Structure 1
Amino acid sequence: MIFSLSLSMSSCGKNNELGTTPENANNTNGNTTNPAGSKMKITIGAVVFTATLSNNATGNAFKARLPLTLNMTELNSNEKYFDFQTALPSNAANPGTIQTGDLLLYGSNTLVLFYKTFSTSYRYTSIARIDNPSGLTAALGNENVTVEFELE
C-alpha cells in the first residue's frame, strides 16, 4: 500500500483540511477525551453506519477533528483512503488481518476505511471500527466516494 496522491475535501460547512492551518482544521467543541465506547456516525450517501472510536491517542485526535466530510480515494478494491495535511498521533502495529469496517491510520496522516477482510503485512494504528459493517461494501462502491464522519 504505497501511494502519494493529493486529495481534496468538500467543505459543506464542516471542517476541511485543504487550505486550513492545523489550528482551524480542528473542531473546537471541547471534545478532547475519548471514553471507551465513544460513538461516531459514518454517512455514505443515504447509508449511515455507527462506529466505536478507539480509546487511544489516535482515536482522540481524530475525534477532535470531527465533523469531517472527506472525498476518499479507491485503492486495491478493498479500501478508501484520505491523506490529511496534518499528522495524527500514531502507534502502528501489524493487525495480521484487516476486518471489514476497520478505520485505521497508515503512517501518520493517511486515513483508511477498509471494506473487505484480508491478511496484511502492513502496520496501522486503530482509529475506530464500524459496529455492523453489513452493507459497507455496497455503500462505498468501487469508485472514489464522499464520506461524512461525525460524533453520534
Structure 2
Amino acid sequence: MKTITMIINNQEWQVNLYQNDTVESLINRLPLTIQMKELHGNEKYHYLDFQLPIMSESIDQIETGDLMLFGNNCLVLFYESFSTPYQYTKIGYIDNLKNIKNLVGSKDVKVTFQVNK
C-alpha cells in the first residue's frame, strides 16, 4: 500500500492510500501545504484550487483519520467518527491517531502533504 506523509504542527503521520485515479492525481501535485478550515467539530476541510477525478460513493460511516474528497476539489480530514448520508471519494486513512483532536484543535490548521522518500 502506498503512503504519503501528513504534517501538522511539526508532527508527522503516514496516510495509507487507496488505489484510484483521485489518489494518483493528488500524488502528482505533492508537496502541498494548505490551510484547512474547521467544520462541525469533527473535520477539517480545504477547497483546492484544482480539480481531481472523482469516484464518489456512499460512505455511511466516517472513521477518525479518514482523508476524503468531497465533490471534485474539497479535501477533508476527519478527526471524529460519525455516520453520514454524504458521498465522498476515498483517498486514504491514518492509523495511530493519538491526540489528533487536541493537535488540530477547534481552529483552522496548516497541513502539509508530501510524498515519502
Give the structure 2 partner of residue 23 of structure 1.
none
1:41-73 alpha-carbon deviations (Å, 9 max, x no partner): 111002111111111111111111110100010
1:106-142 alpha-carbon deviations (Å, 9 max, x no partner): 0011000000000000000011111222221111111
Is the aligned partner of 1:96 residue 2:46? no
Give the structure 2 partner of residue 123 of structure 1.
87
Give the structure 1 partner of residue 5 of structure 2.
41
What residue ranges of structure 2 are gaps of 5+ in the alignment? Answer: none
Is the aligned partner of 1:140 residue 2:67? no
Alignment RMSD, CA only? 0.9
Letter in 1 for 2:54: S
CA shift, 1:90, in A, is: 0.4
Alignment of 1:1-152 (within 5 A): 37-152=1-116
Runs of 4+ in 1 over 3 A off after TM superposition: none
State the distance in 1 between where 2:52 and 2:35 align.
18
CA shift, 1:74, in A, is: 0.4
Letter in 2 for 1:47: Q
Corresponding residue SS for 1:142? coil
What residue ranges of structure 1 are gaps of 5+ in the alignment? Answer: 1-36
More strand per residue: 2
Number of equivalenced pairs: 116
User: Which of the pair has the greater relative contact order for Cα pairs under 8 Å at 6+ separation?
Assistant: 2
Letter in 2 for 1:69: T
TM-score, normalization: structure 2?
A: 0.95
Letter in 2 for 1:140: V
CA shift, 1:84, in A, is: 1.1
Which of these two proteins has the greater Rg computed from alpha carbons?
1
